[in-house]
Amino acid sequence: MKNTLKTTFLTLMIVTLFVSLNFKEQIVKTQLRVVVIDDVGNLVEGASVQLYTSQENFDKETNPVTEKLTTDAKGIVKFDELESRVYYILVQKGDMNNWNGGIMTDKLQPKRVNKINVVIE
C-alpha cells in the first residue's frame, strides 16, 4: 500500500511539473516592448510605431510586419507573437521621428518580452 501511494504521488508530481513547464511555454510568446522617448528623455504618448523585417522595407516604408501601434501614456507599445529575428522600428509623431537614428533590434529572444527604447527628434 505504501509503495502504491509513493508511486502515485511521484507520478502526480512529475505530471504536474511537466504540465506547468509546458503551460508556461504556451503562454509566453516572443514579444517586443518599445518605449518611445524624445531627445530630452520625456516619454512620448501617441507616437505611431511600425516594424519591418529589412532595411529596404524600413527605408521605403513598405511591407510592415504588423499594423501600426500607438504608444500609451507611458510611451509604450507591445508587439505580440513575433518571430525570433531582427526588426527595424519606425516611430513617428507629428514632425518627430527616428529616421536619422533608425533603430534595428538585436535578434529577439524567443518566448520572452524583449525591450528597446527609441528616441525621436
Could you report the per-residue pLDDT of 30-66, keeping only the tens digit for each?
999 999 999 999 999 999 999 999 999 999 999 999 9
Tell whether 81 is covered by a domain. Answer: yes
Domain for residue 90, yes or no?
yes
Residue 1 pLDDT? 58
Asked if residue 1 is part of any domain, the answer here is no
Q: Which band of pLDDT confidence, cut at 50, 70 and 90, is reported for residue 93? A: very high
Q: What is the CATH number of the domain that holds 52?
A: 2.60.40.10
Question: Domain count of the chain?
Answer: 1
Positive/negative CA dihedral, 20, 21, 26, 28 = positive
Query: Cα separation of 57 and 50, whole Å?
Result: 11
| Residue 50, in any domain of the structure | yes
Answer yes or no: is 60 within a domain.
yes
Q: Where in the sequence is the domain holding 96, given as residue range(s)?
A: 29-120
Residue 74 included in any domain = yes
Report yes or no: 7 and 13 within 8 Å, Cβ to Cβ: no
**What is the CA angle 86-42-66, rounded to 5?**
30
Element (H, E) at 55: helix 55-60
Confidence of residue 3 (pLDDT cuts 50, 70, 90): low
Query: Distance between terminal CA atoms of the chain?
Result: 73
Q: Is residue 110 part of a domain?
A: yes
Residue 101: band (very low, low, confident or very high) from pLDDT cuts 50, 70, 90: confident
* Cβ(38)–Cβ(96) below 8 Å: yes
For residue 6, being part of any structural domain is answered with: no
DSSP assignment of 13-37, as one string?
HHHHHHHHHHHHHHH---EEEEEEE
